[in-house]
Amino acid sequence: MYSFVGLLVAFLATATSAQHFRPLLLPPPPAPRIGETYFAYQLKSFRQALDECAEYLAVHPEAIERLISFNYITNEPELRCLIRCTGINLGWWNDTTGVQIPIMESYFLPAPGDTCFVRRTRECFDAKIALCHDDCSKAYESFLCYFHHYGNLKFTNEYVPLTPLDAIQAAVDCINVLQIPGELLEQYSRGVFPDCQETKCLYRCQYIAEGLYDSRLGFNLPRIYAREHEIPDLELLSENTKACTELALRDSCDECTRFFRAHKCFSRCGVIDHTTSVLVQASWIVLGQHTCRRQNPFYLFPPYTPLQSYAPLQSFAPRYILPPTRGCKFANN
């Protein structure tokens, strides 16, 4: 009798213990919305970049507050170099080429009805920048010209274009994520981009990584304008360009094809072949990596000669192989 009771108690204890440790089969939580921080680019405020540079240069917080309280007027070399660092951090300053105008403009808001802010800012540049003898002073005086003559300094987070090296790294990631075949990479590295699905999806991936395109919202033309700061082209911000992209994105093609056709609306604006040059460099890098990359002889477009060594190209002339595209009609045709 006692034995039976003991076995019953042991069985109940085991069942209870098993029930206690059994994982609960709950439904998975809804997926969070993808944030912009998941991609390669950044959004930063002027103050955030200023504080980051204070850490880099070991500037005391009291000095920063003093600088701000005096509306950025200072003769202290340390604080002038702090402004230069902030410009490098946000992408609006380069010691060789000076102010990157589209990026600098994005941090200031002209007053409503003011039609002279561009002229005043240019006159300030002409009067002051030539007198500067060091990079910190040039960057600082450039900032003051905008601060005093262009408009109000924004407090919002603004788009920071990728540096060339960061853009190439983003392209390397896209090539690896999309598993672009080695045969295509061989051609990309020569500046030859066949009109196939992999090419279209790779361009799309690069634009997404750089924060220039969203499948729900379309192209972000102000960001593309900022990215093309080396050759600012206001055509990128025109209503014609916007209408062209929106029309092309309404095509009933697959997502990569719609994107690729729409991006041709501004492919000759700003820095010509900007994305193509990044993809060429990234292709060289990936070709030099030892991976189990899949092979697909379908992409062996003649003439084809295997590369013997991999090194970055100094210059190239992109060529496009354009066989007929099936199943889609370009909205502009």
Residue with the two structure tokens 């390397």: 172
| CA atoms of 232 and 102, how far apart (whole Å) | 7
β-bridge mates for residue 43, sequence order = 159
Write out pLDDT tens, residues 214-256. Answer: 989 999 999 999 999 999 899 999 999 999 999 999 877 899 9
Instruction: Decide if 223 is inside a domain.
Output: yes
Q: What is the pLDDT of residues 289-330, one digit of tens each?
A: 866 655 555 555 444 334 333 334 334 444 444 343 333 333
- 323 found inside a domain: no
DSSP labels, 19-72: HHHSPP-PPPPPPPPPPGGGSS-EEE-HHHHHHHHHHHHT--HHHHHHHHHTTT
- Name the least confident of 32-41, 263-272, 285-294, 314-323: 314-323
According to the model, what pLDDT value does residue 26 have?
62
What pLDDT shows up at residue 12?
53
From CA 191, how far away is CA 308, in angstroms rounded? 17
Residue 37 counted as domain residue: no
- The structure tokens 């002409």 sit at 126
Q: Which of 121, 140, 160 is the last residue of a domain?
A: 160
Q: Which residues lie below 8 Å from residue 35, measured CB to CB, with a gap of 6+?
A: none
pLDDT for the residue numbered 312: 41
For residue 85, the SS3 value is helix
| Confidence tier at 22 by pLDDT (50, 70, 90) | low
Domain's final residue, options 133, 160, 187: 160
Q: What is the pTM of this model?
A: 0.77
Per-residue pLDDT for 11 more than 60?
Answer: no
The answer to whether residues 48 and 153 belong to one domain is yes
192 phi/psi in degrees, rounded to 5: -105, 120
pLDDT band for position 49 (50/70/90)? very high
Residue among 131, 169, 147 at smallest CA distance from 86: 147
| Same-domain pairing of 89 and 47 | yes
Tell me the residue range of the domain where 168 lies: 164-299
CATH of the domain at 269: 1.10.238.20
Most confident residue range from 16-30, 75-89, 131-145:
75-89
